[in-house]
Amino acid sequence: MEKSLSQIFLFLTTFLLLQILFRRSHASEYTRHPPRPVILTPHKGPDSDPQQVHISLAGKDHMRVSWITADKQVESIVDYGKEPGKYEASATGEHTSYHYFFYSSGKIHHVTIGPLDASTTYYYRCGGSGTEFNLRTPPSTFPIEFVVAGDLGQTEWTNSTLAHVNARDYDVLLLPGDLSYADTNQPLWDSFGRLVEPHASRRPWMVTEGNHEVEIFPIVYPRGFKAYNARWLMPYQDSGSKSNLYYSFDVVGTHIVMLGSYADFDANSDQYKWLEAELAKVDRSKTPWIVVILHAPWYNSNSAHRGEGESMRKAMEEMLYKARVDLVFAGHVHAYERFTRVYNNGADPCGPIYMTIGDGGNREGLAMTFENPSPSISLFREPSFGHGRLRMHNHTHAHWSWHRNNDSDSVVGDEVWLESLSSVTACKETFEGPASSASESSASESSASESSASESSASEKDEL
């Protein structure tokens, strides 16, 4: 992809008008902390070399390896094994490509490998030759640690967030939407893929879509998501979903539901019916934790994107509440915010904890203005770049921490122990409306230590 950089300049001009059209819909007035420059990451090396390598969980004991080659002759094959340079297994997959106006993508390869052993490092190469990568599979039992980071983009702040993510071990990254901020400028999708490759080729990245993935153009591309669906294929078929825009998967006692804020969600929609059937199937004895990820927050006390998640909340909140979902993560608002357990706009000991974690580091900068005074259901909020970590310790307890970027340091800004609703007796009753009778004291959150502990001391205690 030698042409990438010159393409970027071509597209910057060609799509100026498009950019203006797209931005209009989500322009906002708030003052922002200084964003940092976009990093353009070129491809160095021959066209046949794999680039933009990333992996995702693909059903029990399997992993999907996705990558792109400018050379269309390269085969969709992955060789892998437990020792460097020794590939005892090999798998062949599928490939795709897409056009968007004058842009045509490279060959996009998706190969599923497995069965793989748990907690094991595998060495692999893509397309039969070239660079060796390595990945580690998730464990088979608790504990497991998730990183949660939304609205990443590809700026120097993104790079800083990813460096902090990488500085401490984790198993799976969850991304609540807004990846590349390409906004129809397709070469920026390639640049993003290269920026994240050192991270996304080592640990599974599980994503759902944000508004920056939509890329609808009237008449020509009325359904949108061309780049996103082709490049960031997720295991939707495994969970009976008909769309890459919403799906679910299980990993170590945790059932994760990725919802689509930009797919239909009303009571007649495929997504609604799928979610209803999907939540009914969850077996809390196998997966005591249920975590939902979506883009536009249902609860948000920032002035940015106020009310944008409201129609989805009205359509789906009751379903999540009755299923005793533990946590709901959103992005979209470029700040961090943690709510108490909530249902229907009020504190409820059997409702999910809502968090906004849209502070990965994109070019638009931070959402600085919060509503004053803070609503009582909002417990912690701060406009800073950073990332979150959710460590499931066992069936009943998990630890959440939010790590603020302080340039070269990462600082724990907020942390709290969480208790799974599956183990709260008062929430196990028949699910008929708000659990107003459930005692407040069973409400799961032990006190948040809001003091700043340094990252290094935290990481010494937790080695994973």
Ligand X SMILES: *[C@@H]1O[C@H](CO)[C@@H](O)[C@H](O)[C@H]1NC(C)=O
Closest distance of CB 194 from ligand X, Å: 12
Rule CB under 6 A: say whether 393 interacts with ligand X. yes
Rule CB under 6 A: say whether 159 interacts with ligand X. yes
- Give Cα separations from 134 to 67, 199, 206 (angstroms): 14, 10, 17
112 φ/ψ angles, rounded to the nearest 5 degrees: -95, 125
Q: Give which of ligand X, Fe ion, none residue 332 binds (C-beta under 5 to 8 Å, depending on kind).
A: Fe ion
Distance CA 151, CA 170 (A): 19
Q: Give which of ligand X, Fe ion, none residue 406 binds (C-beta under 5 to 8 Å, depending on kind).
A: ligand X
What mask of x and - would describe binding to Fe ion in positions 166 to 195, judged by CB under 5 A? ------------x-----------------
CB contact at 8 A, 246 and 236: yes
Rule CB under 6 A: say whether 456 interacts with ligand X. no
Contacts (Cβ under 8 Å, ≥6 apart) of 293:
148, 174, 176, 208, 256, 257, 258, 259, 328, 329, 330
Closest CA to 255 of 144, 178, 399, 360: 144
- Tell me the one-letter amino acid at 381: R
Rule CB under 6 A: say whether 33 interacts with ligand X. no
Rule CB under 6 A: say whether 426 interacts with ligand X. no
How many whole angstroms from its chain centre is CA 265? Answer: 19
Q: Give which of ligand X, Fe ion, none residue 39 binds (C-beta under 5 to 8 Å, depending on kind).
A: ligand X
Which pairing describes strands 453-454 and 409-419: parallel, antiparallel, or unpaired? antiparallel
What mask of x and - would describe binding to ligand X in positions 185 to 224, judged by CB under 6 A? ----------------------------------------
Position among 10, 40, 77, 163 found at the interface with ligand X (CB under 6 A): 163
Rule CB under 6 A: say whether 397 interacts with ligand X. yes
How many residues bind ligand X (CB under 6 A)? The answer is: 9
Rule CB under 5 A: say whether 208 interacts with Fe ion. no
The nearer residue to Fe ion, 362 or 410, going by C-beta atoms, is 362
How many residues bind Fe ion (CB under 5 A)? The answer is: 4
The nearer residue to Fe ion, 50 or 297, going by C-beta atoms, is 297
CB half-sphere exposure, 42, CA atoms < 13 A:
10
Closest distance of CB 156 from ligand X, Å: 5
CB half-sphere exposure, 358, CA atoms < 13 A:
29
The nearer residue to ligand X, 397 or 428, going by C-beta atoms, is 397
Q: What is the CA radius of gyration of the chain?
A: 21
Q: Which spans of this chain sit near ligand X (rule: CB under 6 A)?
A: 39, 156, 159, 163, 393-394, 396-397, 406
